[in-house]
Amino acid sequence: MTAYHTILPEQVTTWVRAGRTTQFPVGAGATIKVGDRQIAVFYFHRTDRWYACQNLCPHKLENVLGRGLTGEQDGVPKVACPLHKRTFSLETGANLNGDCPPLAVYPVTIRDGEVFVGIDD
């Protein structure tokens, strides 16, 4: 199993094309596959910010976070697992309401209407 951690922009070794910005739902997630990883990508229209995290819920070990509920908690963008409603920061991956391990989070950049997710090989 992959060790999960926050990928900082300076740690990116590869930018993976995730798709066109128009292919992603507003206020919801979509999942891409990169090698053996599933990565959930989210667009927050109100703040015009993009986020990406592992799709695997660290509690139930199911690939479901891309279908999670998005929102904010104390100004922190978050996703809630659809299985058990535990929430995670989309900025740091930290579990916001429990003792689950943190999520891996990935930087996102937009270039010419295309969404790219940064990974470390």
Q: What does the domain layout of the chain look like in residue ranges?
A: 9-119
CA distance 34 to 78: 22
Pair 62, 83: CB distance under 8 Å: yes
Which residue type occupies 95?
N
pTM to 2 decimal places: 0.90
Q: Looking at domain 9-119, which of 2.102.10.10, 1.10.3720.10, 3.20.20.70, 2.170.260.10 is its CATH number?
A: 2.102.10.10
Choose between 13 and 117: higher pLDDT: 117
The 10s digit of each residue's pLDDT in 40-88 is: 999 999 899 999 999 999 988 999 999 999 999 999 999 999 999 999 9
